[in-house]
Amino acid sequence: MPDHLFYQSAVKLPTIARAQGVYAWDVDGKRYVDACSGAIVAQIGHGHPAVRAAMLDQLDKVAFAYRTQFENQPALDLAQRLVDLGGGRFDRVFFSSGGSESVESALKIARQYWVCRGEPQRKVFIARKPSYHGATMGALSMTSYTPLTQPFAPMFPLYPKVASPTQYRVPAGRSVAEHALACADELEAAILEAGAAHVAAFIAEPIGGASTGAEVPHAGYFSRIREICSRHGVLLILDEVMTGMGRTGRWFGYEHWDVRADIVCLAKGLGAGYYPVSAIMTRAEVTDPVLAAGGFQHGYTYAGNPLASATALAVIDVIEREGLVENAASTGAYLLQSLEQLASRHGFIGDVRGRGFLLAVEYVADRASKEPFAPALCFGDAITRAARDCGLIVYPRKSLMGETGDHTLIAPPLITTPAQCDEIVDLLDAACTAVQRTADAR
């Protein structure tokens, strides 16, 4: 059969036939453990009957309604539900369909807020390096990952990027805590350099996902960030596209440090792979000036449609009813421990880290010096391929010009049991052994 699809690579992948829970099967009947929820999306696993029932029920009523023509109850209910989950921190919600769209929405509401507040010179957005915030132009301009940004760099302004805090590669002579504060202070330096009156917002993930590989910042980091943003009137946007909806063992990543964000982006686990749905949560203080000036000049056709909203409501119900946030915390801690044991068996595993069910294994050429593998080696890709051969799906990230090593995200559905964690670790162990054997044979 001719293959008309084009993606990043020409590698022929297995064709999926079906999936249930944490498992997927290809058309040849081979079974895979989905140890990364697809792209950290399938929050409640595959084929959940409660979501299917809710979607069918909504399909029988109305699938689509356009937001300028009708209100719809599922969207109103979903907004209320998110506000409730936010524990009163947020009281305004805006829907879209994907993570990049939610980041675009956050950037645009922040920008329009400043225009409507009479400070149109606030047009500088500051992000971190490395970072990933999405593929659309605004989200890409916040992203610091050269292979993705370089071809498109002339199409957007070059915004300041400050260091993401790492606990793994702390510069010599600094403690983890000192390094975290130094990274936060880079934000203040960037704000002062741009001129505080020109800065609109700072965007960061609470726990770095694909970019840093589940790097958990030191406890002091976000309180310093909040302090700096407040001092200079800069809005704090938290990109919880990956960390939100229970992924890290809390409903939202910001809960780990009780950091107060002005805008939060959600996607991935919100629709859990059953339907594309994303959102931003913010406060009336941010939206009121915009609404008073004629409204948010932004929107997507599929935003807040009834089927998307009913799906997300059903997903949230499942997460609550099945205690999946708690499971992410406790079983995630067990998986982290098991991965640490795995590291003791493979010298090229430099670090194992993360929170809840957002975990990562980083591979290094030398454990003592933490030197990454040369990017040309594509070590992480070799692990991904070997894992797939063994029946394990993991989420890879290539090393970034020697700044970070190759890593694999291990982020299974929040329903994953300890026995299934054992299965994941055993399969990853087999994949690591296979890669080592190939390297030894060279």
209 makes contact with ligand PMP (CB under 6 A): yes
205 makes contact with ligand PMP (CB under 6 A): yes
Q: Closer to ligand PMP by CB, 103 or 191: give it.
A: 103
User: Which region, judged by CB under 6 A, interacts with ligand PMP, from 132-140, 285-293, 342-350, 389-397?
Assistant: 132-140
User: Which region, judged by CB under 6 A, interacts with ligand PMP, from 28-36, 71-79, 115-123, 131-139?
Assistant: 131-139
133 makes contact with ligand PMP (CB under 6 A): yes
Helix axes 324-345, 418-441, angle to 10 degrees: 30
22 makes contact with ligand PMP (CB under 6 A): no
Residues 89-128: x where in contact with ligand PMP by CB under 6 A, - otherwise, as a string: ---------xxx--x-------------------------
> How many Å apart are CA 314 and CA 139, to the nearest integer?
28
Q: Least distance in Å: CB of 136 to ligand PMP?
A: 7
The single residue among 42, 203, 267, 270 that binds ligand PMP, judged by CB under 6 A, is: 267
Helix residue spans in 41-119 (DSSP H): 49-61, 73-85, 99-116
Which SS3 state, helix, strand or coil, does residue 442 take?
Answer: coil
Q: Least distance in Å: CB of 87 to ligand PMP?
A: 22
> How many Å apart are CA 272 and CA 133, to the nearest integer?
18
The Cβ of residue 77 has, within 10 Å, a number of other Cβ atoms equal to: 15
Query: How many residues contact ligand PMP, by CB under 6 A?
Result: 16
Q: Closer to ligand PMP by CB, 116 or 207: give it.
A: 207
Q: Which of residues 242-261 bind ligand PMP (CB under 6 A)?
A: 242
Say which amino acid occupies 273: G
> How many Å apart are CA 259 and CA 254, to the nearest integer?
5
Helix axes 379-390, 418-441, angle to 10 degrees: 120
> How many Å apart are CA 218 and CA 338, to the nearest integer?
22
> How many Å apart are CA 291 and CA 313, to the nearest integer?
27
User: Which region, judged by CB under 6 A, interacts with ligand PMP, from 190-198, 205-213, 286-294, 360-368?
Assistant: 205-213
> How many Å apart are CA 74 and CA 97, to the nearest integer?
15
Residues of this chain that bind ligand PMP (CB under 6 A): 39, 98-100, 103, 132-135, 205, 209-210, 239, 241-242, 267
